[in-house]
């Protein structure tokens, strides 16, 4: 595990790290990381690493590539910094607590800000060489002031992208994808989910040529604001349509899950479940 900064300054820690009660504090040797080992349930263990802060004076492109785990990305215009928090988890099950704790130390990740063609890129990579990677995951939480492009590839995890804009490329499996944004979406979008549902919620200023297919699922659209023109080839599990006569491709594929597309005034105002 490492974290580095190519441009920008690492902010002082802005808030104390919340430590889970009942855990035991340890240090990862020369890595100099302090964490608590805690228990989510009888079969799950986790390590909360300290948040990493970067100064951010403009929009960032987000590039995440993980071997597995949830990814949550939130753009919050009130911030003047970016913060990334990683939680390592192990689900070896009862009777394998010591193995789980040891395995979590084999999860490595890097967090870098790199120069890009149009601006800085926040690049996050997570990997493991453990012989049982299916028991491990690295859950990533990202909060930034603004986002101008999104690429998130993970497995066995949920992906949430809130108030983002620009081109989007999201891939996951074994989890659900939620893209909810109050920013106009007028660039290319590709969301692939091999084993879960997709929610795509945008405002009426967005556009796109929609190509959505749900294998062993349903595709539903709801557009009280904005104009969706349904095209031939549409059925219960497929939607071919244009949003506001747009030409930018909006491609969605879901297996064993549903695709829900909504064009509404308040895309981010949802609860735990989306109808």
Residue 101 DSSP SS3: helix
Kindly report, residue by residue over 77-90, the tens digit of the pLDDT: 999 999 999 999 99
**Could you state, in order of their start, the residue ranges of all structural domains in the chain?**
1-154, 158-269
Burial class of 126 by CB neighbour count within 10 A (0 to 12, 13 to 18, 19+) = buried
87, 20 in Cβ contact below 8 A?
no
Of the pLDDT bands very low, low, confident and very high (cuts 50, 70, 90), residue 5 is very low
C-alpha angle 230/232/235, rounded to 5°? 80
Kindly report, residue by residue over 226-272, the tens digit of the pLDDT: 899 999 999 999 999 999 999 999 999 999 999 999 999 999 998 76
Rounded to whole angstroms, how far apart are CA atoms 118 and 49?
31
Burial class of 111 by CB neighbour count within 10 A (0 to 12, 13 to 18, 19+) = buried
């Amino acid at each position: 595990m490492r974290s580095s900064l190519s441009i920008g300054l690492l902010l002082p820690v802005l808030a104390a790290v919340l430590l889970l009660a009942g855990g035991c504090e340890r240090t990862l040797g020369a890595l100099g990381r302090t964490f608590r080992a805690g228990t989510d349930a009888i079969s799950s263990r986790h390590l909360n690493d300290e948040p990493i802060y970067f100064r951010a004076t403009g929009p960032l492109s987000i590039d995440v590539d993980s071997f597995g785990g949830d990814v949550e990305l939130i753009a919050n215009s009130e911030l003047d910094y970016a913060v990334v928090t990683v939680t390592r988890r192990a689900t070896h099950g009862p009777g394998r607590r010591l193995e789980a704790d040891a395995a979590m130390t084999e999860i490595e990740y890097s967090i870098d800000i790199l120069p890009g063609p149009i601006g800085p890129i926040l690049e996050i990579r997570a990997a493991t060489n453990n012989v049982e990677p299916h028991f491990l995951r690295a859950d990533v939480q990202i909060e930034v002031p603004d986002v101008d492009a999104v690429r998130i590839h993970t497995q066995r995890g949920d992906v949430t992208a809130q108030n983002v804009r620009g081109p989007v490329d999201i891939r996951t499996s074994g989890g659900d994808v939620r893209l909810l944004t109050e920013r106009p979406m007028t660039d290319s979008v590709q969301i692939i989910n091999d084993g879960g549902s997709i929610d795509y919620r945008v405002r009426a200023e967005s556009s796109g040529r929609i190509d959505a297919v749900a294998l062993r699922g349903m595709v539903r659209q709801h557009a009280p604001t904005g104009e969706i023109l349904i095209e031939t080839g549409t059925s219960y599990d497929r939607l071919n349509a244009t949003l506001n006569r747009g030409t930018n491709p909006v491609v969605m594929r879901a297996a064993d899950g549903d695709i829900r597309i909504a064009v509404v005034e308040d895309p981010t105002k949802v609860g735990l479940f989306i109808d």
